A and B are shown apart, each in its own frame.
Chain A
Amino acid sequence: MYCYLYDEYIQENKRFERELLKIENRLTDLGIAGKVSRLALFRNAEEMIRDEIDHGVSTIVVVGNDETVRKVIDVVADNDVVLGIIPIGPGNELARMMGVPEGVEACEVLSARRVEKIDVGTVNGRRFITGVTMPNFRAEITCEDKFRVTSVARQAALEIRNLTDLTDPRDGQFEAVISAAVKTGWGIFGKTQIKESILPLSSMAIRSELPISLFVDGEEMKSTRFDIGIEPLLLKVITGKTRVF
């Protein structure tokens, strides 16, 4: 049984009305229409989904964008249900990487139901699918409790990749990428080059004396301590043929 979760911005914006109508008609034609739940300001998305799962829903289809997926990822992963996406509007990187086209065309992908299990990352217990970024990396990383990594460059950025165009989200690992600005050559002839260090890891900890900012799937988190891990093949997602992994 399918449950379609409409994000708030879709219901408020008139320009999506026609597209939604087309989608609803196509889903009925394909025989995969289901219950529609609508997200609203004071409605808890997790509670809504939990209710639907209790009533026998096995597939949650998010009609929205990456932010909508973020709202439901915890409850979907915890309850062993399948996640589908019908991307509408801007901010749909996740759907692109999963090979799901925008709008009504996504219905065909849902109907084909190619389900893949993917890894889900965690930062201080908060789950993420794509990755984590730290634009100003000035901290110490402890990797798998075995070795420490620090940047000796004047400027560096940290990126943790789970699902990207370059990584496989089914390998039980994430990639920690440190981009350091390194000066090569002497004096005025010197050039600054960006050197990338890549570490495939299953756990790491970031420590800093002062609070630092991390962007988890685009959302900011501030702390002096971040524990990052991976939950292998936790999330079941419906993917299209053009997926990047």
Chain B
Amino acid sequence: MFKDKSKNAMPSSSSNETIIAQGVRVEGDFQSQGDVVIDGEVVGSVVTQSSLHVGESAKIHADVKAANAVIAGEIIGNVVVGEMLELLSTSHVQGDITTERISVAAGARINGQIRMESKQKGSSVQAKDEDTK
């Protein structure tokens, strides 16, 4: 009787998600409006307005910019995240990190500066050459 009509609507097949899987190499300025999942190789730069997920097998030699990011693989380059950055235990970041919030799992490796920037307040806290290994 009180069915949620939105549940019956046909699901949209276009999620606008980009997947760069293993076995594929991307070179250049990669830009996306939607979510991005990287398990392959990227050289250049990565920019997304949405979420970025870097898998364990990913090798990124690029500056990375995203709204949110979960990293399990390797990034050689600077990482700028608008909101939340999650570094999983297998992650390795060689470069400076700028984010509003961060979560670092035991075993994650960071070689670079971490700069905490709040969007609203503009305040920043800086930690130098942190290595949580």
Contacts from A to B (Cβ < 8 Å): 146-153, 156, 165-168, 171, 173, 178, 180-182, 195-200, 244-245
Contact = CB atoms under 8 A, between A and B. Distances in A.
B17 to A, nearest CB: 7
A182 B34 contact: no
A195 B22 contact: yes
A152 B25 CA distance: 7
Nearest to B10: A245
B21 A195 contact: yes
B40 A197 contact: yes
A156 B27 CA distance: 18
A245 B13 contact: yes
Interface in B1-35: 12-14, 16-31, 34
A181 B40 CA distance: 13
B100 interface: no
Interface residues on B, range: 20 to 34
B44 interface: yes
Q: Kindly list the 6 A-B residue pairs having the minimum CB-CB distance in the complex, ordered from nearest.
A: A180-B23, A147-B28, A153-B23, A195-B21, A168-B14, A182-B23
| A contact patch SS | strand
Nearest to B44: A147
B20 A197 contact: yes
A152 B18 contact: no
A195 B28 contact: no
B29 A151 contact: no
B39 interface: yes
Given A146-B31, A147-B44, A198 B19 contact: yes
A151 B23 contact: yes
A182 to B, nearest CB: 4
Given A182-B23, A197-B40, 11 more contacts: A147-B27, A147-B29, A150-B27, A152-B23, A152-B25, A153-B24, A180-B21, A180-B23, A198-B18, A198-B19, A244-B13
| B contact patch SS | strand
Contact of A148 (B16, B28, B34): B28
A149 B13 contact: no
A148 B23 contact: no
B39 A166 contact: no
A181 B29 CA distance: 25
B41 interface: yes
19 contacts: A147-B27, A147-B44, A149-B26, A150-B27, A151-B25, A152-B41, A153-B22, A153-B23, A167-B13, A167-B14, A168-B12, A180-B23, A181-B23, A195-B23, A197-B19, A197-B23, A199-B18, A199-B19, A200-B18
A7 B132 CA distance: 70
A149 B23 contact: no
A158 to B, nearest CB: 11
Contact of A200 (B27, B30, B34, B40): B34
B22 A196 contact: no
